[in-house]
């Protein structure tokens, strides 16, 4: 429904879910488009949010040790959930099974519900009148909140929010999301400096 409210057709919405199988990137893309952002800027924001999956892939390539011919297809299913299930398994065989079952079930259900949501949005008509433009950010925040367990993670999220909201009146739509990504290296740099200071104090 969120993508339909951004002006995408049913087929564009379904193609997005089929080809970009990562929720955060999809929400970032349609959110930027809904705000009137440039498609290239929106795509860039979605890309940077999806970069984390590449790091998952590095770990899973060692854990699963799949044949070369299968790896390009398996890469489509490298997301938070499949990575978590695979890494939690005690054996390689169990990890492969967990990855495959989780990936297949989520991929089918995600795309099915995407189709149903797009059809429902078309039936509703003007989605802005229903306030559905807030659905994407609300879902994203609901997924993100339980993951913020450490002080550093909360600092990154807080700084990202300040950067994103503070730059909304200044930068074109979609750009504040990209700039907000700078919150991570800044917070990690500050945390690193604090650790170095504590180590120096301990050596004295």
Last residue of a domain, one of 106, 122, 147: 147
Q: Same domain for 74 and 13?
A: yes
Q: What is the pLDDT of residues 19-48, one digit of tens each?
A: 888 877 777 777 777 667 677 777 777 777
Q: Same domain for 74 and 120?
A: yes
Q: Same domain for 124 and 203?
A: no
Q: Same domain for 99 and 75?
A: yes
CB 118 within 8 A of CB 1: yes
Q: Same domain for 113 and 152?
A: no
Q: Same domain for 129 and 165?
A: no
Q: Same domain for 36 and 120?
A: yes
Domain holding 181, by residue range, is 148-204
Tens-level pLDDT at each residue, the chain (204 residues): 556 556 677 888 888 888 888 877 777 777 777 667 677 777 777 777 777 788 889 889 999 999 999 998 999 999 888 998 999 999 999 999 999 999 999 999 999 988 888 787 666 655 555 555 566 566 667 767 777 788 888 888 888 888 888 887 887 766 777 788 788 788 878 878 888 777 777 666
Dist CA 66 CA 95 (whole Å): 11
Task: Please tell me the total count of domains within the chain.
Answer: 2
Q: pTM value? A: 0.61
């Amino acid at each position: 429904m969120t993508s339909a409210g951004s002006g995408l057709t049913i087929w564009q919405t379904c193609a997005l879910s089929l080809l970009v199988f990562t929720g955060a990137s999809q929400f970032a893309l349609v959110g930027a488009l809904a705000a009137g952002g440039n498609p290239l800027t929106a795509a860039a924001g979605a890309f940077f949010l999806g970069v984390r999956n590449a790091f998952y892939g590095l770990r899973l390539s060692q854990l699963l040790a799949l044949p070369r011919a299968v790896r390009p297809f398996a890469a489509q299913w490298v997301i938070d959930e499949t990575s978590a299930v695979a890494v939690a398994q005690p054996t390689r065989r169990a990890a492969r099974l967990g990855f495959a079952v989780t990936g297949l079930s989520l991929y089918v259900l995600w795309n099915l519900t995407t189709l149903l949501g797009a059809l429902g949005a078309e039936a509703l008509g003007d989605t802005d009148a229903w306030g559905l433009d807030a659905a994407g950010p609300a879902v994203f925040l609901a997924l993100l909140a339980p993951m913020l367990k450490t002080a550093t993670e909360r600092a990154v999220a807080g700084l990202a929010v300040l950067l994103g909201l503070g730059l909304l009146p200044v930068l074109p739509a979609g750009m504040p999301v990209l700039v907000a990504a700078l919150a991570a290296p800044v917070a990690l740099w500050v945390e690193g400096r604090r650790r170095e200071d504590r180590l120096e104090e301990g050596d004295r």
